[in-house]
Amino acid sequence: MVLYFSGTGNTEYIAKLIADGLGDECVNLFDRIRTNDKSPLYSDKTYIICSPIYVCEMPLFLIKYLKSITFNGNNRVYFVFTSGGYCGSAKVQAKFFSIKKKLKCLGCAEFVMPMNYVANSRYPMEDEKVIYSKIADSTQKVKQVVEDIKNENKLKSRHVWLFETLIIAPFAPLWTKYKLTAKDFYTTNECVGCRICEKACPLNNIKTIERKPKWGESCTHCMACISKCPKNAIEYGNVTQGKLRYLLKDYVPVKSEEKNIL
Ligand SMILES: Cc1cc2nc3c(=O)[nH]c(=O)nc-3n(C[C@H](O)[C@H](O)[C@H](O)COP(=O)(O)O)c2cc1C
Ligand code: SF4
Ligand code: SF4
């Protein structure tokens, strides 16, 4: 069973390619997280958990959610990360998670995908050439990962040095708590009150009042709201003006029934 969370489509794209290659089911965790559905999972096949990287780790809200559910059927698990290029100590985090859940971790695969973090002033958005090249390289890499998973091989990933883990372990939770906030989101006059941003938020953090979206306290900076707004009517402080919003679906054609979720 392939499980995934995706804010802007990268992880969803890789998860679906892997599930197709394996002939396995693919479960989007969005609804489960949004509705706080903690019903147990069951699969006779190996679990494959696919996650974007936020602040050098898997998103803390996702790990918290995954810790709260029961994995029945088999006890094997692979992890698949998508990042802009640096997965930090996510591999170590995955190992600790597996131990806690009594799962046998068979390794992690890392896919370098386009950077989606429009609300971060440190990251310029990438140009089309870089975006297409990252998607093409990752699409190519899926075949090998699928073969390895079919053969139950250990997946190879970058060695994580101890100093990285020692720096990231205290840094990531603090950064997440104090920097990944919604307080700087606002809408411009282009907003038409369509509520697409509200429906796109995995944490139910947006409420539309009198056709105006209002952001609450729980935000993980997944970039779904700002990137999915059809009117480009969401800005974040003075960081996002004139910056490209990234969605995977703008670069890869998707089947019509998938368009809503990407
Ligand atoms: C809050 C946030 C933090 C991020 N931190 C990192 C990071 O530490 N390293 C990195 O390479 N990419 C980072 N990224 C980029 C994403 O990991 C990357 O674009 C990912 O493929 C997005 O997946 P998605 O489209 O499935 O949401 C970050 C993105 C966001 C929104
Ligand atoms: S998606 Fe954009 S246009 Fe629609 S309500 Fe949200 S901010 Fe307004
Ligand atoms: S408010 Fe926007 S950026 Fe924050 S979690 Fe919700 S959709 Fe993601």
Is the predicted pLDDT of residue 257 greater than 80, yes or no?
no
Over range 142-152, report the average pLDDT: 96
**For 132, what's the count of Cα atoms within 13 Å in the CB-facing half-sphere?**
5
Over range 59-72, report the average pLDDT: 97
Rounded to an integer, what distance in angstroms lies between the CA atom of residue 218 and that of residue 35?
14
Distance 125 CA to ligand 1 centre (A): 12
Interstrand relation of 47-52 and 76-83 (parallel, antiparallel or unpaired): parallel
Q: Which of 62, 29, 53 is nearest to 111 (CA)?
A: 53
Does residue 192's CB lie within 6 angstroms of at least one atom of ligand 2? Answer: yes
For 134-143, write each residue's pLDDT tens digit: 999 999 999 9
For 211-237, write each residue's pLDDT tens digit: 999 999 999 999 999 999 999 999 999
Structure confidence at residue 167 (pLDDT)? 93
Percent of the chain whose pLDDT exceeds 70: 97
Distance 221 CA to ligand 2 centre (A): 17
pTM for the model: 0.95
Annotation: CATH topology of 181-250: Alpha-Beta Plaits (3.30.70)
Partner residues linked to 26 by β-bridges: 2
Is the predicted pLDDT of residue 259 greater than 90, yes or no?
no
- Do residues 114 and 134 touch, judged by C-beta distance below 8 A? yes
Q: 72: which 2 tokens?
A: 């029945």
Query: Helices 10-22 and 128-150: crossing angle, nearest 10°?
Result: 30
Distance 222 CA to ligand 1 centre (A): 8
Is the predicted pLDDT of residue 186 greater than 50, yes or no?
yes
Q: 251: which 2 tokens?
A: 């670069």
Q: Where are the domains of the chain?
A: 2-167, 181-250
Structure confidence at residue 123 (pLDDT)? 87
Ligand nearest to the CA of 231: 2
Does residue 10's CB lie within 6 angstroms of at least one atom of ligand 1? Answer: yes
CATH number of this structure's domain 2-167: 3.40.50.360
